Amino acid sequence: MQGNDSSTDSQRKTEEQRLRAYIDLMQQLYRQYHDRRDLEWRVHILIWTLLVLIAYASISTEFQLGCIAGIIFLFLPLHLFWLAKIVRGEVSDYHRSMIYRDRAEKIIEFEMPSDEDLKKYLEKEGRSQLPNWIAKNFESYYWWLAVVMSTTFILTLVDFILLSGFKFPIKFLLIFIDY
């Protein structure tokens, strides 16, 4: 009987070690995801600020590039390439983290509540749940890519228009800029 107790203790320690390892891996991947997301935002702000500064310089100094103003559109493929790489890493870290979490939950025999149970809990707590059509449309990262690249495209287009010498009534904005 004594040997059986030691094998149970050994098995419990092994399960605890596996659980600790899964939790550590999950936390590490979450930190990587968070750090990558932080870097992503910093680079977006940097790119958008640079594009706004180019527009400002074009307006305030009458600086124009004429025919070669299209060079500004190089921002689009560069930003898209960088964004695809960073989001791919984010998604990979997120999914791995969920795998480790799932394995840790199996060790402690935890089961996620069903959607129906979650809905009842949220109603009881006075919280609302996202409508299904919103939740489904925002599961993917494609909407985020569209938002980010649309912002970059609009700023790049404004820069192109300003740098190519096209005149439109944006000069009135200079009234609000004290230079």
- Average pLDDT in the chain: 77
pTM over 0.85: no
Query: pLDDT for 58-85, tens place per residue?
Result: 777 776 776 667 778 888 888 888 888 8
CA dihedral sign of residues 131, 137, 140, 141 = negative
Query: pLDDT for 104-117, tens place per residue?
Result: 777 777 676 677 77
Compare 87 and 110 and report the one with higher pLDDT: 87
Task: Please state, for a pLDDT cut of 90, what percent of the chain lies above it.
Answer: 3
